[in-house]
Amino acid sequence: MIATGLVGYGTAGEFFHAPLIAATEGLRLAAVVTRDAERAARVARDHPDARVVPYVDDLLGLGLDLIVIASPNRTHVPLARAALEAGLPVVVDKPLAATAAEALELADLARERGLMLTVFQNRRWDGDFLTLGTLDLGEVRRFESRFERWRPVPKGGWRENGGPEELGGLLYDLGSHLVDQALRYLGPATDVYAETDVRRAGVGADDDAFVALTHASGARSHLWMSSVAARLGPRFRVLGSRAAYVKWGLDPQEDRLRAGERPGGPGWGAEPAERWGVLGTDGESRPVETVPGAYPEFYAGVVACLRDGAPPPVDPAEVAGALAVLHAARTSAAERRVVTLDPARA
């Protein structure tokens, strides 16, 4: 068993990483870092065999085999560096870093030490995105993708109130997923245009954003992320030369994890027929069954990497390309201009 230490037991740690680790054959959740008494009590309730420690230094001295970092975004780089320098492979929740340069420095350190470094880009295993990869739309010309919510009352916390140094706001939160999917699907971007706004009183970081990408292929991506969408748009609207794919509603895995379900049960990741997307044209279309979502494949890939020498489930060099786009988007929004990228680095 690969003894795993988890840094952080907020939303990412409690509802994503801990249950996925616990459900993965070959992994054992051995310890969790949190100084919050209520969170520590929930660890004891849900993972009674896991030790709770208050500091990361305590974790690094427990003889673990793997460190998972699910702490606030600003801590990702220093904590990942500390774990790698201690000789431990690392999983880092997205975003890996603020910039591509920081991400590549971590990747270089991991390579020098002969250690795994990978990033939890779990939305690569959303059922709708997996389905999209199976469809023949012809030449894809436009990719529209949304993560929208209706949260007119702020929840508070660093994600909504943190400044640029905290990597708060939706651009680096939901945008990390949207950009990663767009680059995976359509390849590198050459031009980036973005709009970011703070729409709610008492919020200090962007809560409404739009990013437009021109890809080296000539395709265009339009990406929306919002906490103030009173009516939600389609999750995907993808237009090709032969057909289009339109899909409403989010992948169900997050809701099931938040509800306490464990991966691996009957029907995990499956969607009911009424939520399937539609493939075709205005003249002729049909529903397409959604491929079951597969978040457990990420940690299965971690086990395969550590045990068998397989590639990491997410290559940090690929993530660096998405971070270059996010950094360009932040620049574009601040300076109200299109930012041009070197597609070889995007």
- Give me the residue spans of the domains in the chain: 2-121+297-311, 123-293+325-340
The dihedral built from the CA positions of residue 275, 210, 244 and 343, taken in this order, carries a sign that is negative
pLDDT for res 343: 67
Pick the CATH number of 123-293+325-340 from 3.30.360.10, 3.90.78.10, 3.30.300.30, 2.40.50.140: 3.30.360.10
Question: How far lies 1's CA from each of 15, 21, 27, 297, in Å?
Answer: 22, 11, 5, 17
Question: From the centroid of its chain, how far is CA 6?
Answer: 17
The closest alpha carbon to 147, from 175, 168, 109, 121, belongs to 175
Helices (H), 229-276: 253-258
CA distance 96 to 268: 28
Q: Which residues of the chain have pLDDT under 70?
A: 343-346
Q: What's the CATH code, domain 2-121+297-311?
A: 3.40.50.720
Structure tokens at 74: 């600003």
Domains 2-121+297-311 and 123-293+325-340 share a fold: no
pLDDT for res 344: 62
Structure tokens at 241: 């030369």
Helix 316-335 to helix 174-186 angle (10° resolution) is 110
pLDDT for res 134: 97
> Which residue shows structure tokens 């427990």?
62
